[in-house]
Structure 1
Amino acid sequence: MFQAIWSQYFPPKPTFTEKDVPPGSQVGKVFIITGANQGIGLELVKMLYPTGATIYLAGRSQSRIEAAIQQVASSSDSPTPATLKYLHLDLNDLTTIKASAAAFASQEQKLDIIWNNAGIGGNPNGTTTAQKIEGHVGINCIAPLLFTQQLLPQLQEAARTASSGSVRIVWTGSLAIESFSPPGGLQYEYLETGATTNSKRDYASSKAGNFFLAVEAAQRWGKFGITSVCQNPGNLLTNIYSHQPRLLMLLVKLLLYEPKMGGYTMLYAGFTEEVAAEMEKGNGAYVRPFGVLAPNGRRDLYEAVREGKASEFWGWCEKIYQPYV
């Protein structure tokens, strides 16, 4: 595990970049990027803007997303610009998720790739969602699963005519999985407390949960031609550290990379043929920064998958969000 952690603190340079997704190459494709108004989500939008795709920037603040759209559009003179659209999505409130998916479905018949990028990390103890669910697992796992479930018809429609392995769900992991998640990835006695009690552990558990959801989605939806993959974008200087002490950040910054590097990890997870080949083997692919296909360093998570823990977590999430479907 030490080697896996070390390789993610000091990852190799990206080998898959925007040059591998050239201008005009995604005309007719439809994407959703959650949390796209800032950080690595915005960097991914910038990379994809010249491709000609239709890209939905999903988030809570219409004004912030519209400002991001204006920023991207004004900084590019691409001859095949993407169509950028706002999609309201509040992962903090399960009562809104179905309406967000319905708003997308009213405009599009298919969905080629969704990057479940939005989330929270390291939030203070006591953090909860609108439904009083522990904040990290609620926002990072439960709401994204509900949103993705609601979009399954559009993903299936895209897969009917798309090339093999190109329709994808990209979930977001973290180095915190290896560093701070409990044995087996999850301990329900902490998830069910109703509030964050240990921010590092609870965040890491939610990221392990994302890995489980990626593996389970591959098992459940692979038969439809849908590829599911979990990626760790890398240790990046984003607002995920906004709750950390200033003195700590002076030290942590030395190990952080610019958000664009995380955008390359997400680009790789969304487009490289290596991921599709891995999924054909029946495995849940994991992507390390900045675009390296390699297993997660926590072997106990793979044992947990074999024991049915990923399916168990999927069912636990469904039970919680069932009243809001």
Structure 2
Amino acid sequence: MCIFIDCLLSPIIIWPAIIGAAIYFLKGYMQGGQFTKQTDETGKVFIVTGSNTGIGKETVLEIAKRGGTVYMACRDLSRCDKARDEIIRETNNQNVFSRQLDLSSLDSVRKFVAGFKKEQQKLDVLINNAGVMRCPKMLTKDGFEMQLGVNHMGHFLLTNLLLDVLKKSAPSRIVVVSSLAHTRGSINVHDLNSEKSYDEGSAYSQSKLANVLFTRELAKRLAGTGVTVNSLHPGVVDTELGRNWAFFQTNFVQYFLKPMVWPLLKTPKSGAQTSIYAALDPELKEVTGLYFSDCKPKEVAPAAKDEKFGKFLWEESEKWTGLATPKVDKTSE
């Protein structure tokens, strides 16, 4: 017995055990706030963009478990179909549908909305989850800088085209997945499309600030309609979002840095919790224009409160997406 105890107390055993326990508890602590309320979403209709992987997929999975009807709106339909099949097998909820939506194409956004409206007369929750991060300079099909185009412009058009259905379905909600990176962002009013110069980090932060400004401006415009809109930071999550960031693909990151920071990262399931909270918590029925992190309200950056930037961005977004184009009154021709 003494020999056994001596072995257990050996530095070769005890220190790895202590370190392992510390990593385990640190990992658990870093998962952040969790949405644990039980809700029944049967009969409600949801759209979740970018939901074939990561926090989007976990968001759909949780809604499906609660009985909701979910439209998975994704660029890659084959990957979306595969994720949908997995979710149906796990939840036995057949009301999960995969539909193609390429947010880098305004035409694709319009086609998705037209198809959705042919199938559904209501929409209870729209979750703008899809995004790209720190990609090399690329343009969308309509000539927008890719990060601003996908993260903001595509969702701007999608949301506005669905507002009529959301209003008819009120009380309804819009959830916008932003990021803490919005605090480092600024709206470049003289070069919004990064034509004069481009920095992938600055462009990403600008797009995330645009998410928060859009949320706050839209909340004002929707006052009294029964449609709420809130944004959120999901946390630092271990997902595929950084796949376009060349630094993340280096051997240094993959084999040294990532294992070192792994205990500090949220799992996709934990990263989805604030999205689920904003979409489902009954107490948020009339809450609008806020920003959440770890299932709690959080203060936004000063730039996100600047109404001049909010109005400028809204007006530019209307022009870029064609929503500001005057309709021709054919009766007066």
The normalised TM-score by structure 1 is 0.83
Letter in 2 for 1:158: S
Q: Which residue of 2 aligns with 1:13?
A: 32
Q: Distance in 2 between matches of 1:236 and 1:208?
A: 19
Distance 1:323 1:148 in 2: 12
Alpha-carbon distance in structure 2 between the residues aligned to 1:209 and 1:317: 10
Task: Sort the Cα spacing of 1:59 and 1:315 in 2 relative to 1 into closer, same or farther, 3 A.
Answer: same
Query: Is residue 41–residue 67 contact of structure 2 (8 Å, CA) maintained in 1?
Result: yes
Q: 2:104 maps to which residue?
A: 92
CA contact (8 A) 1:51 1:82 kept: no
1:270 paired to 2:279: yes
**8 A Cα contact 1:230 1:285, kept in partner:** yes
Query: Given residue 149 of structure 1, which amino acid in structure 2 is its aligned partner?
Result: N
Q: Is the 8 A contact 2:228 2:287 kept in 1?
A: no
Cα distance in 2 between the residues matched to 1:190 and 1:38: 33
Instruction: Classify the secondary structure of the residue corresponding to 1:153.
Output: helix
CA distance in 1, matches of 2:197, 2:267: 28
Do structure 1's residue 113 and structure 2's residue 125 form an aligned pair?
A: yes
Q: Which amino acid aligns with 1:200?
A: G
SS at match of 2:119: coil
The aligned residue for residue 257 of structure 2 is 251
Is the counterpart of residue 315 in structure 1 residue 315 in structure 2?
yes
After superposition, give the CA deviation of every residue in 1:64-86 in whole Å (9 maximum; x if it has no partner). 11111111112235xxx251011
Residue 189 of structure 1 is matched in structure 2 by 190
- 1:46-65 alignment, distance < 5 Å: 46-65=61-80
Q: Distance in 2 between matches of 1:47 and 1:202?
A: 32
1:173-215 alpha-carbon deviations (Å, 9 max, x no partner): 111112x31xxx3113342234981111100000000001111
The partner residue of 2:291 within 276, 286, 292 is: 286
2:142 maps to 131
Is the contact between residue 141 and residue 209 of structure 1 (CA under 8 Å) also seen in structure 2? Answer: yes
Q: 1:323 deviation in Å?
A: 7.5
Q: Tell me the distance in 2 between the aligned counterparts of 1:82 and 1:70.
A: 9
- Residue type at the aligned position of 1:14: G
Q: Distance in 2 between matches of 1:205 and 1:267?
A: 25
Q: Distance in 2 between matches of 1:323 and 1:264?
A: 33
Q: Residue 208 of structure 1 corresponds to which residue in structure 2? A: 209
SS in 1 for 2:224: helix
Percent of counterpart pairs with the same letter? 28
Asked if the contact 1:31/1:53 (under 8 Å) is kept, the reply is: yes
Query: Cα offset for 1:230?
Result: 0.5
- Write the letter of the residue equivalent to 1:143: G
- CA deviations on 1:261-299 (whole Å, 9 max, x unpaired) are 1111101111224434543xxxx20001x2111212x22
1:299 to 302, 312, 318: 302
SS in 1 for 2:190: helix
The equivalent residue for 1:5 is none
How far 1:131 sits from its partner (Å)?
Answer: 1.6
Cα deviation, 1:137-156, whole Å, max 9, x if unaligned, reads 11111111101111111101
Q: Does 1:219 align with 2:220?
A: yes
Residue 236 (structure 2) pairs with residue 235 (structure 1): yes
**CA offsets per residue over residues 41-73 of structure 1, 9 Å max, x none?**
000111111222110000122211111111111
Relative to 1, partners in 2 of residues 1:219 and 1:130: Cα closer, same or farther, differing over 3 Å?
Answer: same
Query: Could you say if the C-alpha distance between residues 104 and 310 of structure 1 is closer, same or farther in structure 2, counting changes exceeding 3 Å?
Result: same
Gaps of at least 5 residues in structure 2 are 1-28, 326-333
Provide the rounded CA distance (Å) in 1 between the counterparts of 2:220 and 2:71: 26
Distance 1:273 1:295, change over 3 A: farther
Note closer, same or farther for the CA distance 1:141–1:128 as it changes in structure 2 (3 Å cut): same
Residue 109 (structure 1) shift:
0.7
Q: Counterparts of 2:228 and 2:42 in 1: how far apart (Å)? A: 20
Matched with 1:3 is none
Give 2:182's aligned residue. Answer: 177
CA contact (8 A) 1:90 1:97 kept: yes
User: Partners in 2 of 1:40 and 1:196 — Cα distance?
Assistant: 32
Deviation of the 1:94 alpha carbon? 1.2
Structure 1 residues 194, 95: closer, same or farther in 2, change over 3 A?
Answer: farther
Deviation at 1:13, TM superposition (A): 3.1
The aligned residue for residue 45 of structure 2 is 30
Of 235-244 and 37-46, deviating more is 235-244
Letter in 2 for 1:295: E
